[in-house]
Structure 1
Amino acid sequence: MGVLGVRVRVHAPEHDVLVVLSEAEGPLSLPIVIGPHEGVAIATAQAGMQSPRPGPHDLLLSVLEASEVGLDRVNIIEVRDGTFIAELVLTNGRRVDSRASDAIALALRAHVEVWCAEAVLDVAAVVLDVDEDEHEHVHLGAPMHGQEADEEVAEFREFLDSVAPEDFDDTDA
């Protein structure tokens, strides 16, 4: 699956941060609710932006490389009580349990495939219906580069600066 991007779904009183995956050949998309910090990690990786010092995902990939092991691919294997379960498939054949958001951030940095189990698609996939006007605002397909990517990340960071933890509190629901 390809990573379409990170989006913020705004509806009062809460805001959901989503990463949206899409089939390479097919109409299905997989929206996964993630945290705002994970959203930044995915959006910056998708934009090809590098920080001056390694963040946690960069650090993990460096440790794997120093251990002479690489990331072969990422599998999203299950939805358990509304939580997407992923695994990192290493080049030595071992599999490591992971949060889906972290696995996707690593896959983008390592330039490896994100695979999704059919059972997950059966339960959680949707068909995105985007009209022409909306398409101008939704970046589908290839990763963004240059100024477009910088603007997208800046807009997402602006959202993060304005949001408070209480905005994600669902105890009243």
Structure 2
Amino acid sequence: MIEMRVAGIALDAVTRSPIVLLKDASDRRALPIYIGQEQAKAIISALEKQRSPRPLTHDLFVNLMEGWNMKLERITIHSLQDNTFYASLGVRQGDVKREIDARPSDAIAIAIRTNSPIWVMEEVVADASIPVDRDADEQERRAFREFISNLSPKDFVHHRGFRGGDG
């Protein structure tokens, strides 16, 4: 799994639909997730630490968890099926842990409010992320190609402890 953070909310240039943008720690990969207008407002208000005079739905959920001594340990965006992302809330109450199914937008809104980490399965990142720093990616590819081109069979023998022969 890869830990990610909310980089912000953007609008699709064509559809004008909101997109929550997650980025990895190195800012090399971004994961765009299309969300609804209300979920975008909930995420923005959490990012900007805005307080409503009365609890909104995500605030109510956080208040309920706190009232029952529950802790959101993490959210996990675990799969992508038919262009739909799936997430879960990793909740703990004492020694009891539960995974609760959630829409990614709701999970993210709650994670921001509780300062909980956002994790994304590697296969989801591989399937749906977009590169942010193409120059760094190309530099990494070149360094790897150079490393591979300088390897010889004896490098493997030496490093693996394999001696070969009848031994």
Q: How high is the TM-score relative to the length of structure 2? A: 0.73
Superposed CA offset, 1:130-163 (max 9, x none): 9xxxxxxxxxxxxxxxxxxxxxxxxxxxxxxxxx
2:9 counterpart residue number:
6
Superposed CA offset, 1:78-137 (max 9, x none): 00111110000002310000000000000000011000000100110111259xxxxxxx
2:100 counterpart residue number:
96
CA distance in 1, matches of 2:72, 2:8: 21
CA distance in 1, matches of 2:133, 2:28: 9
Secondary structure of 1:10's aligned partner: coil
CA distance in 2, matches of 1:27, 1:96: 29
1:5-84 equivalent positions in 2, closer than 5 A = 5-11=8-14, 14-84=15-85
Given residue 107 of structure 1, which amino acid in structure 2 is its aligned partner? A
Structure 1 stretches of 4+ moved >3 Å = none
Secondary structure of 1:45's aligned partner: helix
CA distance in 1, matches of 2:5, 2:83: 21
**Number of aligned residue pairs:** 128
Given residue 2 of structure 1, which amino acid in structure 2 is its aligned partner? R
Given residue 47 of structure 1, which amino acid in structure 2 is its aligned partner? E
Superposition CA RMSD, Å: 1.4
Any stretches of 5+ residues in structure 2 without a counterpart?
Answer: 135-167
1:120 counterpart residue number:
124
How far is 1:26 from its partner? 4.6
2:88 counterpart residue number:
87
Match of 2:112 among 104, 108, 112: 108
Given residue 119 of structure 1, which amino acid in structure 2 is its aligned partner? E
Structure showing greater radius of gyration is: 2
1:133 counterpart residue number:
none
CA contact (8 A) 1:61 1:70 kept: no
CA distance in 1, matches of 2:46, 2:27: 24
CA distance in 2, matches of 1:18, 1:109: 19
CA contact (8 A) 1:75 1:115 kept: yes
CA distance in 1, matches of 2:27, 2:133: 13
How far is 1:25 from its partner? 2.4
